[in-house]
């Protein structure tokens, strides 16, 4: 790959999947949009505006040397922390869907937790570069960054936004894994997590019921199983080629807010198994390219940053998809590029801009 | 999937040639994570594949029922036919109102207009249109609407207001076979008779117009699916419409003529047990069943009524005696002095002074009680009661109808000579009409007792394929074929020479037996209150049809089976001749006339004529008119028959 040329595969995959997302947001949302706002184009216009802004940002950022984030890492991070604190203060942050995660600007909303996702990756990448020699030591190397991670996680859980919190924790743990933290650490973390889950079930047996209702959603079809059943009703009848564009039935008030967390169900309903395959290939291409950029970078910071960004997108996508197809309980995570959400799309496109710049900077 | 796999292999075979050693650890770990990511994506794709292929059917079914709303369409009930395909119970289509409250935007005005059309209060109608349900019916005001009302509602074109087809049971012959066929309720559910017994076959399954709806109940612009209702299974009875119509008509006549407490009849094919006709008076109109008392509706007298059979029961004693070889009808003689004394009890013959010296054939012809007492005593109680049991008395015949009685036969331990003697001529036992006709059928058909039945078959409405078919069912052999031939011969001479003369039909060999039984109330015989009956069959040498008729307490007539019931049975037998296409017999015996009896005259045809022409043509005969109008629609007996001049010709009138 020649120096200073853009990574075409990544750029085209990202543009394709985002445009497909906008089309699907229209299809999934016009019924609700018309019902709630008397304007079937409400969601698709919002998303379109963010997409254009996002693409412009992406192209600009792809020309900004990524090493600048190394310099400004602490600044970004502190700004994000302040925003996270501000947003949970009633009167400043506004509540949507039960979480105080938004700064409302007109009809647009901005989620500081979305920015935090990126800023914490930058911060951790720098941390790993600076503490390369002591990262093998749990107390000196790992514990400080874990402390910062749990501070951020705690702030996000105050909103509360469990899904975003989990993505942040997992993408940082992914980075630590890459950065050479001892395997035993992850083993211990897994055991602690397992005991934690068992403990939580022993303390409150209703959690077991929720897990059972996830395994068999029909045991509680109007409660815990509702969303997953509605999602399966969309995926199941889709078949190989689906009902065709705009012909979803579940979006007619059966599936709540089909343009956000469950957009994958609507894609499956309208385009069938083939649609799912194409979306998965696009995601895998983006992830594969992102990892390749990470591997190809000869700068350690660039390596960590590229991996962190890619891994975060991959983890979020997998988390969303596993919920939608009923592999794990509902967590409330959106699908990158495809789900409705301005801040999320904007930040994701900016992250891709960084990736493009890392790719561009390779020898 | 294939693309995924090839991508997967490209990834795992990826080569890190040229990487700096320092980064090796990082790159290995990235590779591990990439493999995990790819694995998870394959898991997700696999799960989607599983959902869309393996559980497709289940989910699609659930989802369809979630999306679709059904406007039910009622299926037709199975049609009930006679043996020749004449419709006995049919369906007519009506419309009913169905509301889908979610689609009714303007509830007030919809409720107001519907309330005024249907004559319901506004408040009630408002409750219906605003009910939180997917489909609401207005019961009963909105059911089975007349065309005018349905038209009015249709003209309003109100959203969410639908008119759907409903089938309603229709009995074209009204009271005909009312007890046997039964009737249905408002929801077309069988409530009585065959409608009840075979309800699960006759009831079809609902069809529907399925339309797709969103979760708020609004209609989606997707094409409707029409699911055809599955009509009920059709039923063919063994009933012969012509014989049934004849029996109904004759019973109506006997009711208007003698005003009896009740009247009933059964016609049967003696060789199979197939019921050709069955009727009961009083009857009822099945479409207005609620206007009648439960006794009138529930008592299907031919199978429910139990009473002393009287002389028709002598056929059992006769058959037993012949079969046991204890009597030679032509050569053995009996002297009837008018009474016989058994253990101090004096049993009188019905004829004052007795019949004098007779052959046993004459005993049968004269229905001489002391003669039968003698036969009974000769048989002994074990043998006689054994035959009674074998002929099926004392237990249900098992006919496929509801409400059959057992009848009562003496317990053998309690049978003394008096009980034996009275049983021999048909007193002191209690039997049902169906038992009698079934038993006599066995006596004349070669000795085989059949289980009577009325449902011939059930057939799928579309394909006509058989769902259920009843075949003649032999219970057992009661008497030998030879004995049966002798019984037939004896019963034929009853009609030729004896008490059954009123059942004689010119050109046909008819066999039969009269019965006149005093009714019992509170353990005592009632004075002047009889059940008069006649059982007759033809042709006597090869019986094709057997008819039993009984009239309960006929008024204004001498109550003998020969005078009241025999002419009715004869008319039904005459109509059976044409209904079953039974050929005349060359060897038919001549009726033996008593001194002073007039000879028979052939009747001309008057059907289609007006009343005056008919009167002129039939001068010399006595005529009775039924119905109203100016034209003769039917005559009984038919043209070409020979009758006595004093016999009555009945003419049925109708308007042109």
Q: How confident is the model over B158-165, as a mean pLDDT?
A: 80
According to DSSP, the β-strands at B466-469 and B473-477 are unpaired
Q: Which residues contact B434 (CB under 8 A, 6 or more apart)?
A: B266, B302, B303, B397, B399, B404, B452
pLDDT for the residue A107: 60
pLDDT for the residue B27: 87
B233-289: per-residue pLDDT in tens? Answer: 999 999 999 999 999 999 999 998 888 999 999 999 999 999 999 999 988 988 888
* Domain B600-654 class, CATH top level: alpha beta
Contact B52/A311, CB-based, under 8 Å? no
| Residues of B contacting chain A (CB within 8 angstroms) | 1, 3-4, 7, 11, 16, 19-20, 23, 25-27, 29-30, 33-34, 37-38, 40-41, 43-45, 47-49, 51-52, 55-56, 58-60, 62-64, 66-67, 212-216, 220, 222
Taken in order B123, B126, B130, B133, the sign of the CA dihedral is positive
Contacts of B52 in chain A (CB under 8 A): 235-236, 238-240, 268, 272-273
Q: Name the phi and psi angles at B409, rounded to 5.
A: -120, 145
Q: How are the residues of chain B apportioned to helix, strand and coil, as percentages rounded to the nearest 5? A: 40, 25, 35
User: Three-state SS across B514-546?
Assistant: EEEEEEEECCEEEEEEEEEEEEEEECCCCCCEE
Contact at 8 Å (CB) between A344 and A50?
no
pLDDT for the residue A245: 84
What is the DSSP code (8-state) at residue B15?
-
Mean residue pLDDT of chain B comes to: 83
> Which secondary-structure segment (H or E) carries B235?
strand B234-237
B287-324: per-residue pLDDT in tens? Answer: 888 888 888 888 888 999 888 888 888 899 999 999 99
Burial (CB < 10 A; 0-12, 13-18, 19+), residue B57, is exposed
pLDDT for residue B408 is more than 50: yes
CA dihedral B397, B398, B404, B409 (to 10 degrees): 30
User: Three-state SS across B301-353?
Assistant: HHHHCCECCHHHHHHHHHHHHHHHCCCCCCCCEEEECCEEEECCEEEECCCCC
How far apart CA A6 and CA B523 sit, in angstroms, is 116
Label residue B432 by pLDDT band (50, 70, 90). very high
Contacts of B64 in chain A (CB under 8 A): 237
Q: How confident is the model over B28-42, as a mean pLDDT?
A: 92
Which residues make beta-bridge pairs with B94? B166
pLDDT for the residue A6: 82
pLDDT for the residue B17: 38
pLDDT for the residue B19: 41
How far apart CA B608 and CA B614 sit, in angstroms, is 9
Tokens of B294: 């439960």
Q: Is B256 a catalytic residue?
A: no
Instruction: Name the residue facing A177 among B27, B29, B215 (closest C-beta).
Output: B29
Walk along chain A (363 residues) and give the pLDDT tens digit of each residue: 445 578 899 999 999 999 999 999 999 888 888 877 888 888 899 899 999 999 999 999 999 999 999 999 999 999 999 999 998 888 777 777 667 777 776 566 778 888 999 999 999 999 999 988 888 787 888 889 989 998 999 898 888 788 888 899 989 999 998 888 877 877 888 888 888 778 877 776 766 766 666 667 766 666 667 777 788 888 887 778 888 888 887 877 777 778 888 899 899 889 989 999 999 999 999 999 999 999 999 899 999 999 999 999 999 999 999 988 888 877 778 899 999 988 889 999 999 999 999 998 875
Q: Identify the residue whose tokens are 């019961």.
A: B139
Contact B33/A311, CB-based, under 8 Å? yes
How far apart CA B303 and CA B550 sit, in angstroms, is 12
Contact B60/A303, CB-based, under 8 Å? no
Angle between helices B314-324 and B481-497 (to 10 degrees): 140
Contact at 8 Å (CB) between B63 and B218?
no
Q: For domain B69-237, is the CATH number 2.40.50.140? A: no
The alpha-helical segments, DSSP class H, found in B119-240 are 122-129, 147-156, 178-181, 193-197, 199-202
How far apart CA B550 and CA B515 sit, in angstroms, is 9
Shortest Cα distance, chain B CAs vs residue A253, angstroms? 5
- Of B393, B378, B362, residue with least CA distance to B321: B378
pLDDT for residue B1 is more than 50: no
Contact at 8 Å (CB) between B92 and B168?
yes
pLDDT for residue B15 is more than 50: no
pLDDT for the residue A2: 46
CB pairs under 8 A between A and B: 122
Instruction: Name the residue facing B44 among A236, A239, A325 (closest C-beta).
Output: A325
pLDDT for residue B10 is more than 90: no
B315-355: per-residue pLDDT in tens? Answer: 999 999 999 988 888 888 888 888 888 888 888 877 777 78
Tell me how far apart the terminal alpha carbons of chain B are, to the nearest angstrom.
82
How far apart CA B105 and CA B56 sit, in angstroms, is 36
pLDDT for the residue A308: 95
Q: Name the phi and psi angles at B426, rounded to 5.
A: 95, 25
pLDDT for the residue B11: 43
pLDDT for the residue A159: 83
Shortest Cα distance, chain B CAs vs residue A89, angstroms? 37
B359-399: per-residue pLDDT in tens? Answer: 888 888 888 888 888 899 888 888 889 999 999 998 899 99
Tokens of A239: 């078949």
Angle between helices A8-37 and A263-296 (to 10 degrees): 150
pLDDT for the residue B114: 86
Which of A270-279, B17-26, B598-607 reaches the highest mean pLDDT? A270-279
Q: Name the phi and psi angles at A169, rounded to 5.
A: -60, -45
How far apart CA B527 and CA B273 sit, in angstroms, is 36
Residue scoring higher pLDDT (B76 or A338) = A338
Q: Name the phi and psi angles at B137, rounded to 5.
A: -110, 145
From the candidates A284, A297, A310, which should be mutated to test the interface with B, based on the most B CB atoms within 10 A? Answer: A284
Q: Over pLDDT 90: what percentage of chain B?
A: 23
> Which secondary-structure segment (H or E) carries B4?
helix B2-12
* Domain B256-274+300-452+473-571 class, CATH top level: alpha beta
pLDDT for the residue A121: 95
pLDDT for the residue A293: 94
Q: Identify the residue whose tokens are 């409705």.
A: A340
What is the DSSP code (8-state) at residue A335?
P
Chain A residue with Cα closest to B56: A236
Contacts of A280 in chain B (CB under 8 A): 4, 41, 44-45
| Residues of A contacting chain B (CB within 8 angstroms) | 31, 174, 177-180, 232-240, 249-250, 252-254, 268, 272-273, 276-277, 280-281, 283-284, 287-288, 291, 294-295, 298, 303, 307, 311, 314, 318, 321-322, 325-327
How far apart CA A315 and CA A321 sit, in angstroms, is 10
pLDDT for the residue A18: 95
Contact B44/A327, CB-based, under 8 Å? yes
Q: How confident is the model over B104-132, as a mean pLDDT?
A: 84
Shortest Cα distance, chain A CAs vs residue B158, angstroms? 23
Instruction: Name the residue facing A326 among B20, B25, B47 (closest C-beta).
Output: B47
How far apart CA A234 and CA B59 sit, in angstroms, is 9
Label residue B9 by pLDDT band (50, 70, 90). very low
What Cα–Cα distance (Å) separates residue B413 from each residue in A17, B138, B423?
Answer: 99, 63, 14
pLDDT for residue B446 is more than 50: yes
How far apart CA B539 and CA B546 sit, in angstroms, is 9
Which residue among the candidates B213, B283, B311, B457 is catalytic per the annotation? B311
ipTM surpasses cut 0.90: yes
Ordered by start, the domain boundaries in chain B are 2-54, 69-237, 256-274+300-452+473-571, 600-654
Instruction: Name the residue facing A327 among B20, B38, B43 (closest C-beta).
Output: B43
Instruction: Name the residue facing B48 among A253, A283, A325 (closest C-beta).
Output: A325
Contact at 8 Å (CB) between A286 and A294?
no
How far apart CA B420 and CA A4 sit, in angstroms, is 126
Buried b (16+ CB within 10 A) or exposed e, B120-134: beeeebbebbeeeee
Contacts of B55 in chain A (CB under 8 A): 232, 236
Contacts of A326 in chain B (CB under 8 A): 47, 51
> Which secondary-structure segment (H or E) carries A265?
helix A263-296
Ordered by start, the domain boundaries in chain A are 8-360
pLDDT for the residue B101: 80
Contact A325/B216, CB-based, under 8 Å? no
Label residue B18 by pLDDT band (50, 70, 90). very low
Contact A294/B20, CB-based, under 8 Å? no
- Lowest model confidence (mean pLDDT) among A41-50, A124-133, B186-195, B519-528: B519-528
Tokens of B625: 């008119």
Q: Which residues contact A327 (CB under 8 A, 6 or more apart)?
A: B43, B44, B47
Shortest Cα distance, chain A CAs vs residue B59, angstroms? 6
Tell me how far apart the terminal alpha carbons of chain A are, to the nearest angstrom.
8
């Amino acid at each position: 790959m020649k120096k200073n040329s853009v990574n075409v595969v990544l750029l085209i995959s990202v543009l394709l999947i985002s445009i497909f997302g906008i089309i699907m947001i229209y299809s999934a949302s016009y019924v609700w949009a018309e019902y709630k706002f008397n304007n079937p184009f409400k969601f698709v216009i919002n998303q379109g505006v963010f997409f254009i802004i996002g693409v412009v940002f992406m192209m600009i950022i792809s020309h900004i040397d990524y090493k600048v984030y190394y310099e400004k890492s602490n600044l970004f991070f502190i700004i994000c922390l302040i925003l996270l604190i501000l947003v949970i203060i009633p009167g400043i942050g506004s509540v949507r869907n039960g979480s105080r995660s938004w700064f409302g600007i007109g009809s647009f909303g901005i989620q500081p937790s979305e920015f935090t996702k990126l800023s914490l990756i930058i911060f951790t990448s720098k941390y790993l570069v600076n503490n390369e020699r002591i990262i093998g030591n749990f107390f000196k190397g790992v514990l400080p960054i874990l402390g910062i991670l749990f501070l951020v996680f705690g702030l996000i859980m105050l909103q509360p936004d469990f899904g975003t919190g989990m993505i942040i924790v997992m993408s940082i743990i992914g980075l630590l894994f890459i950065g050479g933290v001892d395997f035993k650490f992850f083993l211990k973390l897994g055991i602690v997590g397992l005991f934690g889950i068992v403990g939580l079930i022993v303390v409150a047996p209703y959690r077991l019921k929720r897990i059972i209702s996830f395994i068999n959603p029909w045991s509680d079809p109007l409660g815990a199983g509702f969303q997953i059943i509605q999602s399966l009703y969309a995926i199941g009848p889709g078949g190989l080629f689906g009902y065709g564009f705009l012909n979803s039935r579940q979006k007619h008030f059966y599936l709540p807010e089909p343009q956000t967390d469950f957009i994958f169900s609507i894609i499956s309903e309208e385009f069938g198994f083939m649609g799912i395959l194409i979306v998965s290939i696009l995601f895998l291409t983006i992830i594969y390219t992102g990892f390749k950029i990470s591997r190809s970078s000869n700068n350690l910071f660039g390596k960590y940053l590229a991996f962190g960004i890619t891994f975060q997108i991959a983890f979020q996508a997998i988390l969303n998809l596993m919920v939608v197809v009923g592999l794990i309980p509902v967590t409330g995570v959106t699908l990158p590029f495809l789900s409705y959400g301005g801040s999320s799309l904007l930040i994701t496109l900016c992250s891709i801009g960084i990736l493009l710049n890392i790719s561009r900077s390779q020898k | 999937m294939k693309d995924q796999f090839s991508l997967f292999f490209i990834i795992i075979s990826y080569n890190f040639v040229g990487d700096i050693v320092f980064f090796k650890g990082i790159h290995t770990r990235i590779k591990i994570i990439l493999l995990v990511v790819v694995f998870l994506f394959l898991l997700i794709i696999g799960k989607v594949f599983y959902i869309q292929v393996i559980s497709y059917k289940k989910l699609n079914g659930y989802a369809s029922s979630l999306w679709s709303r059904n406007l039910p369409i009622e299926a037709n009930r199975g049609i009930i036919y006679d043996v020749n395909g004449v419709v006995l119970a049919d369906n007519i289509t009506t419309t009913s109102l169905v509301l889908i409250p979610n689609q009714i935007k303007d509830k007030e005005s919809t409720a107001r207009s519907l309330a005024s059309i249907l004559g319901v209060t506004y408040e009630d109608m408002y409750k219906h249109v605003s009910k939180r349900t997917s489909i609401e019916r207005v019961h009963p005001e909105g059911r089975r609407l007349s065309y005018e009302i349905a038209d009015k509602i249709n003209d309003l074109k109100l959203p969410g207001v639908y008119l759907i087809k409903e089938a309603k049971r229709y009995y074209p012959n009204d009271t005909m076979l009312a007890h046997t066929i039964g009737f249905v309720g408002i929801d077309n559910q069988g409530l009585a008779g065959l409608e009840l017994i075979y309800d699960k076959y006759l009831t079809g399954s609902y069809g529907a117009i399925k339309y797709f709806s969103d979760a708020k109940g609004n209609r989606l612009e997707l094409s409707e699916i029409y699911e055809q209702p599955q009509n009920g299974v059709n039923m063919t009875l063994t009933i012969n419409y012509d014989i049934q119509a004849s029996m109904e008509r004759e019973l109506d006549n006997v009711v208007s003529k003698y005003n009896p407490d009740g009247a009933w009849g059964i016609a049967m094919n003696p060789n199979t047990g197939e019921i050709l006709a069955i009727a009961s008076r009083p009857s009822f109109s099945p479409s207005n069943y609620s206007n009648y008392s439960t006794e009138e509706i529930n008592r299907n007298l031919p199978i429910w009524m139990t009473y002393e059979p009287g002389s028709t029961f002598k056929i059992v004693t006769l058959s037993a005696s012949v079969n046991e070889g204890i009597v030679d009808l032509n050569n053995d003689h009996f002297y009837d002095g008018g009474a016989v004394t058994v253990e101090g009890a004096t049993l009188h013959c019905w004829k004052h002074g007795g019949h004098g010296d007779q052959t046993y054939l004459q005993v049968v012809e004269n229905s001489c009680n002391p003669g039968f007492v003698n036969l009974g005593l000769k048989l002994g109680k074990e043998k006689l009661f054994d035959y009674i049991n074998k002929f099926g008395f004392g237990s249900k015949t098992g006919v496929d109808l509801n409400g059959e009685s057992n009848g009562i036969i003496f317990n053998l331990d309690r049978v003394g000579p008096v009980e034996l003697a009275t049983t021999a001529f048909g007193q002191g036992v209690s039997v049902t009409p169906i038992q009698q006709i079934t038993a006599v059928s066995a006596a004349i058909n070669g000795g085989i007792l059949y289980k009577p039945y009325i449902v011939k078959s059930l057939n799928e409405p579309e394909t006509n394929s058989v769902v259920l078919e009843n075949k003649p069912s032999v219970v057992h052999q009661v008497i030998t074929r030879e004995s049966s031939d002798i019984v037939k011969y004896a019963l034929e001479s009853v009609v030729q020479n004896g008490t059954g003369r009123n059942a004689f039909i010119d050109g046909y060999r008819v066999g039969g037996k009269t019965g006149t039984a005093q009714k019992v109330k509170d353990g005592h015989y009632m004075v002047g209150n009889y059940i008069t009956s006649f059982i007759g069959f033809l042709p006597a040498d090869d019986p094709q049809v057997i008819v039993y008729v009984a009239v309960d307490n006929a008024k204004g007539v001498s109550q003998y089976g020969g005078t009241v019931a025999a002419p009715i049975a004869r008319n039904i037998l005459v109509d059976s001749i044409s209904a079953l296409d039974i050929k005349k017999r060359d060897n038919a015996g001549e009726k033996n006339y008593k001194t002073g009896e007039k000879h028979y005259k052939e009747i001309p045809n008057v059907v289609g004529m007006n009343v005056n022409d008919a009167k002129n043509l039939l001068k010399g005969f006595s005529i009775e008119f039924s119905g109203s109008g100016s034209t003769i629609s039917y005559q009984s007996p038919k043209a070409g028959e020979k009758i006595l001049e004093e016999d009555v010709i009945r003419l049925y009138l109708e308007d042109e």
